Amino acid sequence: MTLPVSIDSVGAACAHVLLTPDPLAKLMAARAVARNWRLGRLAHRFDAAMPDRPARPGKPELLPPNQMPKRGRIGSERARIAMLHALAHIEFVAIDLAFDLIGRFGAEFPPEFTGEWMRVGADEAMHFALLDRRLRQFGSFYGALPAHDGLWQAASETAHDALARLAIVPMVLEARALDITPATIVRFRGAGDEMSARMLQRIMTDEIRHVSAGTTWFGHATKRLGVNPAKHYQILVKRHFRSALKPPFNDSARRQAGLTREFYTPLAQ
């Protein structure tokens, strides 16, 4: 996929991804934008407003988290399909989260920030493609089941503050994925689904790098402000995250990502 010639800035390119509703077209747009940035075809200019909400396809039906059907035990194929669909939805929204972060806050950071989050956005597109392909191997597809609409609330809650966005999205939500994915991998392996287990392991390896991008740029910004990063993180999480941080934590993976216990242990419940 190539971008329209009129899209020659980072801001316009990010808005283009967010305003593309079709899943396949969105992942192709994400890849094209990341490639154009890498090849020097996009000016480091932020001349387009990010939408309050990204464009969404007609399916899946989006429900409040408390109205989502129970997935059941992962040993059944039906439950594995439901889990893979839920993960595909997370990755689909993560594409928009990455490009919204760039388009909304990139002007506050050096170009290296844009480059790093472009790579993250391209990763999220690849993760979505892997999960959707696996769903199709099971005879399903993204959109076949309902999905919850809670993820974009984190973006709306932090739309005014780059530090809050970094604290909540990569350093809370993606860090939580580091905590729960190893057990999910074990359950898929226990059900004899080695292909899905290997795919989730690959995705988790990338997610460590994504959390690391969050902690790195959070540290960059707090240093510039002259505030303690761990304490400021705790202030922002208490202010903007409506749930508790619950153990068990994958301390090893979090530490690899630069998210040490001093950040999250005081918040644990």
**Percent of the chain scored above 90 by pLDDT?**
88
CA-to-CA separations, 109 to 13, 99, 106, 239, in angstroms, rounded: 17, 14, 5, 23
Instruction: Name the least confident of 64-68, 133-137, 203-207.
Output: 64-68
- Report the distance separating Cα 199 and Cα 187, nearest Å: 13
Taking only the tens place, the pLDDT of each residue in 156-173 is 999 999 999 999 999 999
Please say if the pLDDT value at position 260 is more than 90: yes
Reading the block at residue 144, the tokens are 């076949």
DSSP codes of every residue in 74-117? TTSHHHHHHHHHHHHHHHHHHHHHHHHHHHHHGGGS-HHHHHHH
Mean residue pLDDT across the chain: 94
What confidence tier does 212 reach under pLDDT thresholds 50, 70, 90?
Answer: very high
The mean per-residue pLDDT over the stretch 51-65 comes to 92
The mean per-residue pLDDT over the stretch 184-188 comes to 95
Please say if the pLDDT value at position 3 is more than 80: no
pLDDT for position 93 = 97
- Report the distance separating Cα 153 and Cα 44, nearest Å: 28
pLDDT for position 203 = 97
Kindly report the three-state secondary structure assignment for every residue of 21-53: CCHHHHHHHHHHHHHHHHCCCCECCCCCCCCCC
- Report the distance separating Cα 84 and Cα 140, nearest Å: 10
